[in-house]
Structure 1
Amino acid sequence: MEIKRIESMEQVKQLTISPERKFYSATHEEILGGATTDVYFVKTLEILDHLKLGETPVVAEIFPRREGLLAGVQEVINLFSGRDVSIWSLPEGSSFKAKEVVMRLEGPYNQLGLYETALLGILASSSGWATAARAAKKAAGQKPVYCFGARHVHPAVAPVMERAALVGGADGASCILGAKLAGKEPVGTVPHAVFLIVGDTVKVARTYDEIMPPDALRLVLVDTFKDEAEEALRVAEALGKSLHGIRLDTPSERGGVTPELVKEVRSRLDMAGYHHVKIFVSGGLYPEKIEALAVAGADAFGVGSFISGAPPIDMTMDLKVVGGQAVAKRGRIPGITPNDRLQKVL
């Protein structure tokens, strides 16, 4: 339900929550209406309005506390679209240094102040996820990395996270909406559940091959029932040339996926003539492990919690010009901070 833009404490008090509301996540209308802002920005607007200063022109700059990769720019643009606000930003997907100005906003304070909480949160979370995805991709080298992190975060932000991972360099994402928002198709095979229900890996593999569309890669889990190498050979024999690859997702209770396991499975597949079968690895992956598994012979990686659990990169917004005069709080330099990498985006 669309709500009126919140500009006073009376509106805050009048905001009621329907008892029929099913989820605690904010709607697009609530974000645009200011309902996700910190309440002190509403108090600020009310004070400035009382003093007839709400339309004071300001320039605000945003900088990060640590280096990383910028994501979330498009959502910030959408947040301010239609308002009297101009934005300059590093392009989405750009690397940045700690304390570098990554975005500059200019306009009347009452057009941008209410959204400081939202825009900082958008950039902080998205940049944290994108930065983690970049680290995973760097460790994998030329081999593909897919984001499987949707199950580790609230469903309301899962698409945001997976889109940020794609900005960071991930080659694909399993969350349907996350992939679609980035202009891609979702990727993934099937979970252990189907094997446990059917009771036989080969039967599942053959059924998958029979009913899935031609563009769905024939990639089969091989760690549900038997030794991974043995099961990989059974599946390879059953599907032959149509088998694209096998997936190793051995749980930590069995030692997880190790370089030694990857080497053995690769060797046994090659010895049996299945050189075309790729090895896809998932389960508790992080850059150092990805690098070791890539050297051992893994061909692709599904990364979940390393990306989804990445900490946000703290972002700070400072007013640097007020009413045409250079200003800054103590400890900061007044006036616009030069950065020729910024581009006009709104």
Structure 2
Amino acid sequence: MKMIKYLEDLREVKVSENREFFSATHEEIKNGATTDVYFLRTQDILKHLGIDGKVVTAEIFARKNGIFAGLPEVKSILKDKNIEVWSINEGETFEPKETVMRIIGPYNEFGTYETVILGILASSCGWATAARELKEAIPDKPLLCFGARHVHPAVAPVMERAALIGGADDASCILGAKLAGKEPKGTVPHAAFLIAGDTLPIAKAYSEITPDDEKITILVDTFKDEIEESLRVAECLGDRLYGIRLDTPSERGGVTASLVYELRQRLNQKGYNNVKIIVSGGLTPERIKELALSGADAFGVGSYISDAPPIDMTMDIKEVEGEPIAKRGRIPGRIENKKLKRII
């Protein structure tokens, strides 16, 4: 597919009737197929006037505070263009109206990509910020992201990578973890226990096929009372057991602080002080803080991260040929930020 820059280029955009997935390919993103069409009309008009090559300074700011993520993808969009790009670092915090990125160069080099750039940053920053909110509630305890089941698979790796940038310690999505330089982490789902008909056969098999240096965590809420099942599993696996996972469904009241506290005490009474309690299921920063105080050791969070709203990003033209300018309501000229570093 050729680069889509002007309205006449739309004739070249063909969608196969046999297309299997609706998500954009890397090539389609880079070639402009996911931009808003009015940016093509803008290029047509500016070209007609002979001013599409004017050098402009464009700045991107966020509408609320958050954690910055998505920078590598934006760099991939803008590389090889005749422009300068300045940005804050991934993982850094930003405040409302703070300049997080600045692009300097001929408008026809990058204007078409405004939709794409803002979309990358809005979603990635939203997911990273949600992960940071969770991590700040439990700074000394592990946080695992497994929100891939809540989003389209095309963006699941993007989401889980952003969560790791924001503060999650690990991720369960294979590609998401690998993109962040980590190995995916996870245990065993309810499906395995339901098919076997009992928790212990799965626990034993898990132990038998897993290398001795890998940690084993067993889900305990499938068939029996969580505390009864935890003690059965602990007795069965002994020192081989690293942790038990509570994922009690909302239909049964979810995982409560009282349940976690009782389980911790009963495990300790039986000599299983080293067995960790891992909690998942509808967790929020407030809930995980409460559960941590009751004895939970680690947390698996999906929907709080995956459902995080994008952080609205805005791109403004602030200079044209070196002269300050802005739409009404904004201040003409660059908004300086000492955290900006040149990346292109």
TM-score (norm 2): 0.99
Q: What does 1:138-177 align with in structure 2 at a 5 Å threshold? A: 138-177=136-175
Give the CA deviation at 1:215: 4.2
- Given candidates 261, 286, 298, the residue that maps to 2:259 is 261
Q: Contact 2:220 / 2:229 at 8 angstroms: preserved in 1?
A: yes
In structure 1, give the amino acid aligned to 2:217: L
Separation in 2 of the partners of 1:335 and 1:59?
Answer: 9
Query: Which residue of the partner structure matches residue 336 of structure 1?
Result: 334
Report the alpha carbon displacement of residue 345 of structure 1 after superposing the two structures with TM: 1.3
* Aligned equivalents of 2:229, 2:168: Cα separation in 1: 29
C-alpha separation between the residues in 1 aligned to 2:299 and 2:192? Answer: 21
**Moved >4 Å (runs of 4+):** none
Question: Residue type of the partner of 2:39?
Answer: F
Letter in 2 for 1:245: G
Q: 1:182 is matched with which residue?
A: 180
Give the corresponding residue for 1:293: 291
Q: How big is each residue's C-alpha offset from its partner over 1:119-139, in whole Å with a ceiling of 9 and x where there is no partner?
A: 000000000000000001111
- Single out whichever of 211-220 and 230-239 deviates more from structure 2: 211-220
Unaligned runs of 5+ in 1: none
Partner of residue 35 from structure 1, selected from 33, 36, 42 = 33
Contact kept, 8 Å, 2:2 with 2:12, in 1: the verdict is no
Map residues 151-230 of structure 1 onto 2, 5 A cutoff. Answer: 151-230=149-228
Aligned partner of 1:239 in structure 2 is: 237
Which residue of structure 2 lines up, in the alignment, with residue 10 of structure 1? 8
Alignment partner for residue 68 of structure 1, among 63, 66, 69? 66
Amino acid in the other structure paired with 1:106: I
Give, as a single letter, the amino acid of the residue that structure 2 aligns with 1:257.
V
RMSD: 0.9
**Aligned pair in 2 of structure 1 residues 319, 145: CA closer, same or farther (>3 Å)?**
same
- 2:75 counterpart of 1:44: no
Q: Within 1, Cα distance between the matches of 2:170 and 2:197?
A: 30
Is the partner of 2:167 in helix, strand or coil?
Answer: coil
Distance, in Å, in 2 between the alignment partners of 1:111 and 1:234 is 64
Q: What amino acid does structure 2 have at the position aligned with 1:45?
A: Q
Q: CA deviation at 1:301?
A: 0.2
Amino acid at match of 1:313: I
Contact 2:318 2:325 in 1 (8 A): yes
Residues of 1 paired with 2:124 and 2:212: CA distance?
34
Which residue of the other structure, out of 256, 267, 275, is the alignment partner of 1:277? 275
> How many residues in Structure 1 have an aligned counterpart in Structure 2?
344
Q: 1:214–1:12: structure 2 CA closer, same or farther, 3 Å change rule? A: farther
Give 1:212 deviation, angstroms: 2.2
CA drift of 1:73 comes to 1.1
Q: Give the % identical residues.
A: 62
Q: What is the aligned counterpart of 2:114 among 111, 116, 122?
A: 116
Tell me the secondary structure at the aligned position of residue 203 of structure 1: helix
